[in-house]
């Protein structure tokens, strides 16, 4: 059992690293190199969906045999028997998370015969899919183990679980590729990509569906009440643009938090809370690769700081906390306590407003609370 724990630990570590990688080439090499090393297999290949070709291609490979497969040489249509097998089972809610060569070797069904031919082609002992909703993003082919033994159920189940993290990392890399392209083409598409990134969080954390959009709406409503002679019209417009992006992406770091924590139907324990408290820094690291996000990063990184200095990740207090982070903190809390969660029922907006007012000069900056209350009394929230 200690050996199993070791490889799980190493693969989980790789999963955390890959969410910060925005190049598909680098990402594929990292995960395959780790799998080959930890599971001690001869080779592994990643067959990835190519959005431009609308087909699957051999995007990367690793290991003694895998290194001989040139990138993009092998192309798989969407009608491939392996792709068809996983999708059909998904539609039937069978949720088979892998194909194992030895289990289908004696089956005579025509589809299994085709699948056996595909596994032979890739010299693979197992095949694991990566689904994003109902669409296959990749298939992972695993070669023989170096010691000649079969894959254990525990190894295959863990690899299937790991595939969801690989999917999110690939989706994240695609979104950032799109973002960089769009920044050069049309600034209007900038916001649409931010929306796509926020939806990636919701795909992993269904209990926060719509949360980013509501926090954005509340944040902008609060900001409208913060009329200040301190800013020129141009500076105010820029501030609102940064606030819009930052509030949409304030929880982007949750992509790097294990799903079992995000979807837990109970209060989190101390260790799980430590994991959750990492998401502002993870989010800031993800967005730091894009120059245009330097201002919005402040809201992502510091929206869980408190006015009294008891927040995280850095324990900032008062005016040390960036303005957009102070605004998002109030908007985020307002939406959180007025939305149903697995472990508690939502409170009314009136009660939520009272709770936020009680936290004035404690959790929240007094000026932001006043702006929030002003917007609330005007029925803007």
Give the mean model confidence (pLDDT) for residues 272-277. 91
| Domain, as residue range, for 49 | 2-169
Q: For the chain, count helices (H), then strands (E).
A: 16, 6
CB 169 within 8 A of CB 271: no
Lowest mean pLDDT among 11-15, 134-138, 146-150, 293-297: 11-15
The answer to whether residue 178 sits within a structural domain is: no
Under the banding of pLDDT at 50, 70 and 90, the label for residue 88 is: confident
Place of tokens 């009314």: 348
Q: Where are the beta strands (DSSP E) in the chain?
A: 43-50, 55-63, 75-76, 99-100, 126-132, 135-142
User: How do residues 288-344 score in pLDDT, each as one tens digit?
Assistant: 877 777 889 999 999 999 999 999 999 999 999 999 999 999 999 999 999 887 667
Q: Are residues 161 and 195 in the same domain?
A: no
By CB neighbour count within 10 A (0-12 exposed, 13-18 middle, 19+ buried), where does 82 fall? buried
Residues 6+ apart with CB under 8 A from 163: 97, 128, 129, 130, 131, 138, 140
> Which pLDDT score, from 0 to 100, does residue 3 have?
45
Answer yes or no: is pLDDT of 2 > 50. Answer: no
Q: Are residues 161 and 63 in the same domain?
A: yes
* Eight-class DSSP state of 319: G
> Which pLDDT score, from 0 to 100, does residue 1 have?
43
3-state secondary structure of 332: helix
Answer yes or no: is pLDDT of 62 > 90. Answer: no
How is residue 287 written in tokens?
């967005």
283: CATH = 1.10.3210.10
> Which pLDDT score, from 0 to 100, does residue 32 have?
85
Stretch (H or E) spanning 336: helix 323-337
CB 58 within 8 A of CB 45: yes
CB 85 within 8 A of CB 94: no
Answer yes or no: is pLDDT of 77 > 90. Answer: no
Cross-strand bridge partners of residue 341: 344
Give the mean model confidence (pLDDT) for residues 350-355. 96
More confident call, 3 vs 322: 322
Quote the mean pLDDT of the chain: 82
How is residue 366 written in tokens?
């007094």
156: CATH = 3.30.450.40
User: How do residues 173-197 score in pLDDT, each as one tens digit?
Assistant: 888 877 766 655 545 555 666 666 6
Count of alpha carbons within 13 angstroms of residue 19, beta-carbon side? 28
Q: Are residues 127 and 31 in the same domain?
A: yes
Q: Are residues 230 and 107 in the same domain?
A: no
Answer yes or no: is pLDDT of 10 > 90. Answer: no
Question: Backbone phi, then psi, for 110, in 5-degree steps?
Answer: -55, -40
> Which pLDDT score, from 0 to 100, does residue 183 have?
57
Phi-psi region of 54 (alpha: psi -120 to 50; beta: other; left: phi over 0): left
Answer yes or no: is pLDDT of 357 > 90. Answer: yes
The answer to whether residue 108 sits within a structural domain is: yes
The answer to whether residue 57 sits within a structural domain is: yes
Cα four-point dihedral sign 250, 251, 252, 253: positive
Ranked by mean pLDDT, which of 106-110, 140-144, 255-259 comes out on top? 140-144
């Amino acid at each position: 059992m200690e050996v199993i724990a070791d490889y799980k630990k190493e693969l989980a570590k790789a999963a955390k690293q890959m969410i910060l990688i925005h190049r598909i080439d680098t990402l594929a090499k990292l995960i395959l190199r780790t799998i080959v090393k930890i599971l001690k297999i001869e080779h592994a290949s990643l067959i990835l969906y190519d959005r431009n070709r609308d087909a699957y291609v051999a995007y990367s490979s690793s290991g003694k045999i895998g290194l001989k497969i040139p990138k993009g040489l092998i192309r798989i249509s969407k009608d491939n028997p392996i792709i068809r097998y996983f999708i059909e089972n998904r539609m039937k809610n069978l949720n088979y998370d892998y194909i194992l060569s030895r289990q289908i070797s004696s089956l005579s069904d025509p589809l299994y015969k085709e699948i056996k031919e595909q596994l032979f082609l890739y010299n693979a002992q197992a095949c694991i899919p990566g689904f994003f909703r109902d669409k296959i993003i990749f298939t992972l082919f695993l070669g023989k183990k170096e010691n000649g033994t079969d894959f254990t159920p525990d190894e295959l189940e863990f690899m299937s679980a790991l595939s969801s993290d690989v999917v999110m990392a690939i989706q994240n890399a695609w979104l950032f590729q799109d973002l960089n392209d769009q920044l050069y083409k049309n600034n209007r598409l900038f916001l649409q990509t931010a929306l796509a990134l926020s939806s990636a969080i919701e795909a992993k954390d269904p209990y926060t569906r719509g949360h980013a959009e509501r926090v954005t709406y509340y944040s902008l409503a609060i900001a409208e009440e913060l009329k200040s002679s301190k800013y020129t019209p141009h500076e105010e417009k820029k501030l609102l643009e940064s606030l819009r992006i930052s509030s949409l992406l304030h929880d982007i770091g949750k992509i790097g938090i294990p799903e079992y924590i995000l979807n837990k139907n109970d209060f989190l324990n101390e260790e799980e809370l430590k994991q959750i408290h990492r998401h502002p820094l993870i989010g800031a690291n993800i967005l730091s690769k894009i120059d245009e996000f330097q201002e919005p990063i402040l809201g992502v990184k510091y929206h869980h700081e408190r006015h009294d200095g008891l927040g995280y990740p850095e324990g900032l207090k008062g005016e040390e906390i960036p303005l957009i982070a102070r605004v998002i903190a109030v908007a985020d809390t307002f939406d959180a306590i007025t939305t149903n969660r697995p472990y508690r029922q939502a409170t009314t907006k009136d009660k939520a407003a009272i709770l936020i007012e009680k936290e004035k000069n404690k959790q929240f900056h007094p000026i932001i609370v006043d702006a929030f209350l002003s917007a609330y009394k005007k029925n803007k929230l």
